[in-house]
Structure 1
């Protein structure tokens, strides 16, 4: 362990893209931003009345969004501390997944209500229906929104129209996490079926399968696209070479 920061009981966390700050959300519905180097609290955002279950920074770090157990979403300007749209309503269950578009103007959300919502720049949403169980995670590229759900599928949606492009099938248990590669050509996914998978977004082909041996609850692709990191339910983190993943297919 490099170091630790005692910040109390927090339910979710998100790093700003440049790594200089991170945010946490707690059971009281409060979001805090912390300086990574000093561990100091540098911002507090309030408005939610239920526990925070998802957080995401915009790519430029100027906005942060939080989803709550009450189904509401809020977006704040991190520099001014201003709540941009108030409570964004529409979901009828816990918001488990949030992701900004690469330009930071739009937002995707996924919820226990099995719905994906695509939010515009003024806080209005479009409903993306197709999942049959809770949506646990979302990711956003220039062309697509990706969502993973308890129905064991990953769905690829057109980022502009919201139309369903394809369904990625292969996991045999609920999909916990998804992440794009930096070039947005590949998607990594993790599941309670104890595997991580690498998919070609344009074709829907499975390029690699890795047997993690535990529920995969978090996943990320490195900035250079050469490594995939998986975090498991029982606390193990694995760092895989993309080459290793391809060889294990």
Structure 2
């Protein structure tokens, strides 16, 4: 468990990262590391071999743009958040065929005026570590949880009131879901018990990205306030703030467990300032 002794040091900042000719909205890495998928707001997804950069498959996900996608833990399915289509599409990675479309319902309105509100806009997806649950974050702040084997909607998680941009399940507890929201807060949910079990605050603007450390003891967040924060999950507190970036931080990622000759405590962040920063933490 991380304590107040947590320390993060910047390893390096890689820049410039020229994104001017790459109109990509999101990228997802296959768990095996050999494949990746990239998407833009034109509803097309390109699956490619990481080493050769050759295209393996081109997927089309009309009628809406692609905002976020993730491979399941076994790498057998690719979940794609469909923006204004109010749905998440699931693609079989052995055949690259569309196998399911999960419609994200609206929660029951709490007052009559809510009945005229616009439909769901799905921004983010997250797989549970056992691959049985899929969480889908929406523009209105609600989160839909699905039983994937049964293609069944289970329930909503509530507590946010602005767009949920990024989510991640705890790698050690398939019940715990961490969420990042435009309301500046990070929430911890019991995704099975439908309850909000904790909240963390510290960012002064939108929280755009979140990831959990391999041991589940910490989460990292990136924000439009240009900072990266490392949070102690047990203490529900921000332990360190990194200010390397000069523009909003759209992605943070911990190094997966395993491998040799590389420090286990490695964190990366990517920003609109066209740089990638790498950090060691201990």
TM-score normalised over the length of structure 2: 0.78
Q: Indicate the larger mover: 179-188 or 96-105.
A: 96-105
Aligned counterpart for 2:54 among listed residues 40, 54, 58: 40
Secondary structure of the structure 1 residue equivalent to 2:270: strand
* Maintained 8 Å contact 1:155/1:168: yes
Q: CA deviation at 1:84?
A: 2.9
Q: Indicate the larger mover: 37-46 or 186-195.
A: 37-46
Aligned to 2:121: 94
Aligned to 1:220: 253
Aligned counterpart for 1:156 among listed residues 188, 197, 201: 188
Secondary structure of the structure 2 residue equivalent to 1:52: coil
Distance in 2 (alpha carbons) for counterparts of 1:145 and 1:233: 26
Flag the structure with larger Rg.
2
Q: Indicate the larger mover: 229-238 or 24-33.
A: 24-33
Distance in 1 (alpha carbons) for counterparts of 2:141 and 2:191: 18
* Maintained 8 Å contact 1:21/1:35: yes
Q: CA deviation at 1:177?
A: 0.4
Aligned to 2:3: none
Q: Mind listing any 5+ residue stretches in structure 2 that lack a counterpart?
A: 1-13, 107-118, 258-263
Distance change >3 Å, CA 61–CA 49, structure 1 → 2? same
Aligned to 1:242: 281
> How many matched pairs?
239
Aligned to 1:77: 92
Q: CA deviation at 1:241?
A: 1.3
Distance in 1 (alpha carbons) for counterparts of 2:256 and 2:166: 20
Distance change >3 Å, CA 49–CA 8, structure 1 → 2? farther
* Maintained 8 Å contact 2:82/2:122: yes
* Maintained 8 Å contact 1:176/1:217: yes
* Maintained 8 Å contact 1:116/1:147: no
Q: CA deviation at 1:173?
A: 0.8
Aligned counterpart for 2:158 among listed residues 122, 129, 137: 129
Q: CA deviation at 1:100?
A: 0.9
Q: Mind listing any 5+ residue stretches in structure 1 that lack a counterpart?
A: 244-249
Q: CA deviation at 1:9?
A: 4.6
Which fold has the larger relative contact order, with Cα–Cα distance below 8 Å and residues 6 or more apart in sequence?
A: 2
* Maintained 8 Å contact 2:72/2:131: yes
Aligned to 1:57: 71
Is 1:113 equivalent to 2:140 in the alignment? Answer: yes
Distance in 2 (alpha carbons) for counterparts of 1:105 and 1:13: 22
Q: Indicate the larger mover: 142-151 or 32-41.
A: 32-41
Q: Indicate the larger mover: 49-58 or 28-37.
A: 28-37
Distance in 1 (alpha carbons) for counterparts of 2:256 and 2:250: 20
Output the aligned Cα RMSD. 2.2
